[in-house]
Structure formats: C-alpha cells, structure tokens
C-alpha cells in the first residue's frame, strides 16, 4: 500500500489517501489539544500509544460482532482504515456523570446512571460542537432517523463491550465519544478512534483518571497514564 495525498489534518491525526480508493492512511500525531484545539501541546509517544490502543480496541470490537473501519496497524504511528463518508456527529455515551453533563445539571461527580445516557453533538469547530437533538439533526439533513437509530444501536453495543474490556483492566468506563461514517452501500460503520483521548477512564482502586482529563486538568504526565492503559489492555487482549 502506498501513501497518497493529505486529505485532512485533525487535532490528533492526519488522514491520507492511498493507492487503494477504499483505504485511508491515518497517522496518529504526538500532540494533544484541549478546548477544541485552542490549547495544543506536543506529547512524546502519544500518537504511538493511541494508535496501539485504538487498534486493539477496534480489533476486539470486530471480533465481538461490532464491525468498524479498522483494517490494519501498519507501523507505530500509522493505521489503515476503510474509507467512509463521515457523519458530522459526535455520539457520546455516559455511564456516570462527568465533564459537560456534570456541569450542565450540577450533579455529583461520577453519579452512576441506571441506563446509559446518549447525546449527539454537531461537529463544527466554528460553533464549538453544539449539542444537537434528533429533530435538529433531521432538519439540518445531517442524518436520517434510520441512521440515528442504527447509530444508537451500535453505540450501546460498543458501550457494553467496552465496559467489559475495561472492567477486566480494573477500570471504570465513565463515558466516551465515538463517530460513525456511511459506506458506499449506505451502511453505518463505526469509524474515527477509540482511545483515552475520547474516553473517560477511572482506576477502580485509586480513582485516578487514566485519560485525557490528565491533560485537560493538568493532573500529571499523560504519556505515563496512556502507557498504563496500553499495558493493561494488551494484557487483557493477549498481545502487545
């Protein structure tokens, strides 16, 4: 496979075309951003760690009946993925209160929910990714009701499997964000990444954050924490 033109530069990844029109080349960058990209810092090893973590998780999900865009980890910083048309929505699933939910509703940190909370945010840097509801999504033509129903179904399956994986790692999955795309056939396919950048993870014993909150709140060294997540994940998945 041969790397082609730069398609898109994101906050933590670059996407390139390849000589195969159905495959994209994703380079995970050694940098972290917060406040929707307003704060950007170079972080040693971060791209490599997220690439490995995301690859292991996508492989696990596929094995457990949740297809996704992951094709292959090519090198430390690169993975190949199937090309899809991204739906400009962030799907957030929450098992306990944290972050924007905690602020919005003034509830105690880590209050557990009887059933998972699901929220959609409209992906727009200019608008700071606003919350968006079903009828707003439909009115703007962002996704059809059928697509939304399928996204919800898959998001709950992802939540179930991720909760199982992280429980085996001694980690509580507080919440996470995923993104979906549409295949040429119009099927909803899980895409983007699943890593400590997009999940809130709390160590069950110490209650320590094992995710990007370490960077957002200046709680310590991000690389050490992400390495800890990878080490535990690799032990559970039986590979490095």
Give the interface with ligand C5P as residue ranges (CB under 6 A).
90, 92, 98-101, 129, 175-177, 198-200, 212
The minimum distance between CB 96 and ligand C5P, in angstroms, equals 11
- Whether the CB-CB separation of 28 and 51 falls below 8 Å is answered with yes
- Tell me which residue has its CB nearest to ligand C5P: 99
Nearer CB in complex with ligand C5P: 131/145: 131
Nearer CB in complex with ligand C5P: 10/170: 10
Q: Other C-beta atoms within 10 Å of 3: how many? A: 14
Nearer CB in complex with ligand C5P: 120/176: 176
d(CA 29, CA 111): 34
Q: Other C-beta atoms within 10 Å of 93: how many? A: 21
Nearer CB in complex with ligand C5P: 96/189: 96
d(CA 52, CA 196): 11
The minimum distance between CB 123 and ligand C5P, in angstroms, equals 8
Q: How many CA atoms lie within 13 A of 165 on its CB side?
A: 28
- Whether the CB-CB separation of 175 and 99 falls below 8 Å is answered with yes
Nearer CB in complex with ligand C5P: 12/81: 12
- Whether the CB-CB separation of 149 and 143 falls below 8 Å is answered with no
- The strand pair at 3-9 and 78-82 is best described as unpaired
The minimum distance between CB 131 and ligand C5P, in angstroms, equals 9
DSSP for 45-63 reads: THHHHHHHHHHHHHHHHHH
The minimum distance between CB 211 and ligand C5P, in angstroms, equals 7
Contacts of residue 221, defined as CB under 8 A and 6 or more positions apart, other chains included, come to: 214
Nearer CB in complex with ligand C5P: 128/134: 128
The minimum distance between CB 117 and ligand C5P, in angstroms, equals 10
The minimum distance between CB 27 and ligand C5P, in angstroms, equals 19
| Degrees to nearest 5, angle at CA 136 with 135 and 141 | 95
């Amino acid at each position: 496979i041969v790397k082609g033109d730069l398609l898109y530069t994101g906050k933590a990844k670059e996407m390139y075309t390849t000589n195969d029109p159905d495959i994209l080349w994703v380079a995970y960058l050694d940098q972290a951003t917060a406040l929707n990209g307003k704060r950007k810092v170079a972080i040693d090893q971060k791209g490599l760690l997220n690439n490995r973590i995301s690859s292991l998780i996508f492989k696990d999900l596929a094995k457990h009946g949740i297809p996704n865009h992951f094709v292959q980890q090519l090198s430390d910083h690169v993975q190949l993925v199937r090309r899809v048309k991204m739906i400009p929505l962030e799907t957030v699933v929450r098992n306990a209160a944290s972050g924007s939910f905690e602020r919005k509703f003034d509830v105690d940190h880590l209050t557990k929910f009887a059933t998972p909370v699901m929220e959609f945010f409209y992906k727009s840097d200019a608008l700071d990714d606003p919350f968006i509801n079903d009828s707003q999504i439909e009115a703007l033509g962002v996704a059809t009701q059928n697509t939304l129903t399928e996204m919800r179904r898959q998001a709950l399956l992802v939540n179930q499997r991720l909760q199982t994986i992280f429980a085996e790692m001694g980690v509580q999955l507080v919440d996470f964000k995923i993104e979906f795309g549409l295949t040429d056939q119009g099927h909803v396919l899980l895409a983007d990444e699943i890593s400590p950048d997009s999940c809130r993870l709390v160590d069950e014993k110490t209650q320590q954050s094992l995710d990007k909150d370490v960077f957002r709140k200046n709680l310590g060294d991000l690389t050490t924490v992400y390495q800890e997540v990878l080490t535990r994940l690799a032990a559970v998945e039986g590979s490095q």
